[in-house]
Amino acid sequence: MRIIKRIIFLFATVALLSGCSTQVKNPEWVINEVMVVNETNFVDDFGQRHGWIEIYNNTAKTMDLGGRFLTNDRNNPKKYPIPRGDVLTRIKPHQHALFWADGNPFNGTFHLNFELDPTKDNWIGLYDNDGKKLLDEIIIPAGMLADQTFGYAQDGIKYNETGTASGVLLERVTPSSNNAILEENPKVVSLQEDDPLGGLLTVTSMLVVFFGLIALYFFFKLSGNIAKSMTQKKVAQSGTLSAVRSHSHLSGEVLAAIAAAIHEMKEDQHDIESTILTIHQVKRNFSPWSTKRQSLRELPR
Amino acid sequence: MNTLISLTDNLRTFWSYTGFYNAEPGHLVMILIGLVFIYLAITKEYEPLLLIPIGFGILVGNIPFNEAANLQVGIYEEGSVLNILYQGVVQGWYPPLIFLGIGAMTDFSALIANPKLILIGAAAQFGIFGAYIIALQLGFAPNEAGAIGIIGGADGPTAIFTTSKLAPHLLGAVAISAYSYMALVPVIQPPFMRLLTTQKERVIKMKTPRVVSQTEKILFPIMGMLLTTFLVPSGLPLLGMLFFGNLLKESGVTRRLAETARGPLIDTITILLGFTVGASTQATTFLRVESVKVFAIGALSFVIATCTGILFVKFLNLFLSNEKKINPLIGNSGVSAVPDSARISQTIGLEYDPANYLLMHAMGPNVAGVIGSAVAAGILLGFLY
């Protein structure tokens, strides 16, 4: 019963710890960058300029946008069905798809049947294949200037630490490419600045290594104690010599001498001994642990 | 006359394709290193299962050829056979498969019976981070320093896995360095073991470990995996496969799978890994000042790991009663060169007391070192990748 209580306590602790994270997860598909008025910017395959919507695959796997719905009308989630069967809608991990908001759906898969209006807030939603589950949404504020884009400073990072959407007017217009251009690994750069000697990382890492292995130590210490006590109980119930040994700290030789004396007394064999009984411990001189074959072939010099 | 000119031209063209024509001093140096590896493996029997494939791989990788001819024979030429085999190293899927085999052949009983030995495996990871600090001082970037530091874990697959992510350009140097020093563990560790221990400490006899029940052996991989990977998810490929392999072994109902993992599978991957790592040391990419620095830091990392393991045991002994004291000669086994460093504990222990068998005790920190270095690798990946 005590063991079960301990196990329940352990699982409850783990469950509590796992529930500590309150961070809001970024969606798998993110409406990453939007241009409402395109005057001198990116040109489509027909040589025309229109507003555009960039969608970002925020996962580590290739995903298909085909069959999903893009809309700018909350009451009409299925406004633009993204055609199925186009290989170009299969978006690789952390890559982008660009849709032209030109109201010309017959120009191709990536041309929407609606346009964006700079005079009012533009709500844009991406719905799943059922047209019910909202995958992502964004509101582009009214009054966007020409050739200006609204989106997220870092690709796919929609929510900030407080869990609110962090859309901003972007400094650079980057259709179908990364919103933030990373020249170097930011982790490495920050370590170079904050921890040039490496001491901080060393201490942190060693603490984690020790913490992990200490957790294992405690678990196996506990399970070992449980296993030992269970074995002792079983042996004690068996009523053999091993049972006595498991409860006492006497050596095998001492127990053998006591057992011999009890046997002699019970059997009434000898009152006065004519000889001295010597008990030799039986030793196996060879074991896999002592064999030279398991050891080094040559001694280090 | 024209025929003679054509023949001469043909022979000249052929000559320009030969290894003799394209050879550079670097190729010859590398071929010499490959021959030394093969020599050490055959005559000294230092890690022959690794040094033979690596040594021969070095020979293959350093056969000079006309790189401009696009013959698709070199390991760095996309689409070549060697390049395809090398993807297992570059993409990092050979090391986890090796770990699967290691898990299926490792008996963690010594560790389960005396769990405090786990902590020695943790202490020895100072080798990794000590080397990280040194590498930073020598001008390496943090990600490169992390890749070099992992040599101190004395674990070839872990070193390859980590370096392939953090600093792929150092892969050859790190892998060769890690495996070379693992093979040289019998030479590197003993002087420091003697230096840091007293005569009295070297003859400490440890209590025979208790017998571990099957249930405990089954619980070990399950709980080990859960505890370590919840803490360091970036170590999942290595730790997950290690503990999975061990569960195959200990569950008692998947004997065939365990035998495959610890037999044909690990042998196949060892051949491919060793050979392609060796072949990746093409002189043109390998022979650089950086590689020499990597080798020097690698040696230091082994020394640091050995010393910290031994000193940590001495520190632990301050808190342990006489009958529970640990022989510091097993401190060197915290590095995960399994089972070589444990064998060294045994050999050195026997020198001072012919009846003191330390191997079974040393196997505890030794396998803990495997777990510890995989955890450390996960931490480095988390911070630097």
Reply yes or no on whether the pLDDT at B248 is more than 80: yes
Q: How far is A169 from chain B (nearest CA, A)?
A: 29
Instruction: Confirm if A112 and A100 have CB atoms less than 8 A apart.
Output: yes
Determine the average pLDDT of the residues in A50-69.
92
Q: Are strands A90-91 and A80-81 parallel, antiparallel or unpaired?
A: unpaired
* Residue B378 to residue A208: CA distance in whole angstroms: 10
Among the ranges given (A155-169, A224-238, B288-302), the one the predictor scored with the smallest mean pLDDT: A224-238
Do B261 and B103 meet the contact criterion of CB atoms below 8 Å apart?
Answer: yes
Tokens 């042996």 -> residue: A235
Please name the residue of chain A whose CA is at the shortest distance from the CA of residue B215: A227
* Rounded Cα–Cα distance for residues A140 and A159 (Å): 16
What residues of B are in contact with residue A208 (Cβ under 8 Å)? Answer: 231-232, 375, 379
Instruction: Break chain A into its structural domains and give their ranges.
Output: 25-182
| The pLDDT of residue A243 is above 70 | no
Domain boundaries, chain B: 91-384
With an 8 Å Cβ cutoff, is B357 touching chain A? yes
- CA separation (Å) from B171 to B151, B236, B286, B305? 11, 21, 9, 21
**Which pLDDT score, from 0 to 100, does residue B340 have?**
81
DSSP bridge pairs for B281: none
Asked if B383 reaches chain A (Cβ–Cβ under 8 Å), the answer is yes
Q: Write down the pLDDT at residue A137.
A: 92
B143 reaches A (C-beta below 8 A): yes
Backbone angles phi, psi at A61, to 5 degrees: -130, 155
Q: Measured between alpha carbons, how far is residue A231 from residues A235, A236, A237, B102, B110 in Å?
A: 6, 8, 10, 30, 18
> Taking Cα atoms as reference points, which of B325, B338, B336, B329 lies closest to residue B310?
B329
**SS3 for chain B, per residue?**
CHHHHHHHHHHHHHHHHCHHHHCCHHHHHHHHHHHHHHHHHHHHCCCHHHHHHHHHHHHHHCCCCCHHHCCCCCCCCCCCHHHHHHHHHHCCCHHHHHHHHHHHHCCCHHHHHCHHHHHHHHHCCHHHHHHHHHHHHCCCCHHHHHHHHHHHHCCHHHHHHHHHHHCHHHHHHHHHHHHHHHHCHHHHHHHHHHHCCCHHHHCCCCCCCCCCCHHHHHHHHHHHHHHHHHHCHHHHHHHHHHHHHHHHHHCCCCHHHHHHHHHHHHHHHHHHHHHHHHHCCCHHHHCCHHHHHHHHHHHHHHHHHHHHHHHHHHHHHCCCCHHHCCCHHHHHHHCCCCCHHHHHHHHHHHHHCCCCCCHHHHHHHHHHHHHHHHHHHHHHHHHHC
pLDDT for position A227: 78
Q: Is the pLDDT of residue B289 over 60?
A: yes
| Least confident segment among A258-272, B36-50, B317-331 | A258-272
Residue that is written with structure tokens 């392999």 in the block: B245
| Residue B23 reports pLDDT greater than 90 | no
Residues whose CB is less than 8 angstroms from the CB of residue B285 and which lie 6 or more positions away in sequence, other chains included = B76, B169, B172
d(CA A255, CA B205): 23
A46 shares contact with chain B (CB less than 8 Å):
no
Asked if B283 contacts B24 with a C-beta cutoff of 8 angstroms, the reply is yes
Task: Name the percent of chain A lying above pLDDT 90.
Answer: 30
User: What's the mean pLDDT in A233-249?
Assistant: 64
Pairwise CB contact (< 8 Å): A296 & B343: yes
Return the CATH architecture of domain A25-182: Sandwich (2.60)
Residues contacting residue A17 through CB under 8 Å, at least 6 positions apart? none
CB of A176 closer than 8 Å to CB of A163: no
pLDDT value at position B31? 93
Cβ of A210 within 8 Å of Cβ of B122? The answer is yes
Q: A223 touching B, CB under 8 A?
A: yes
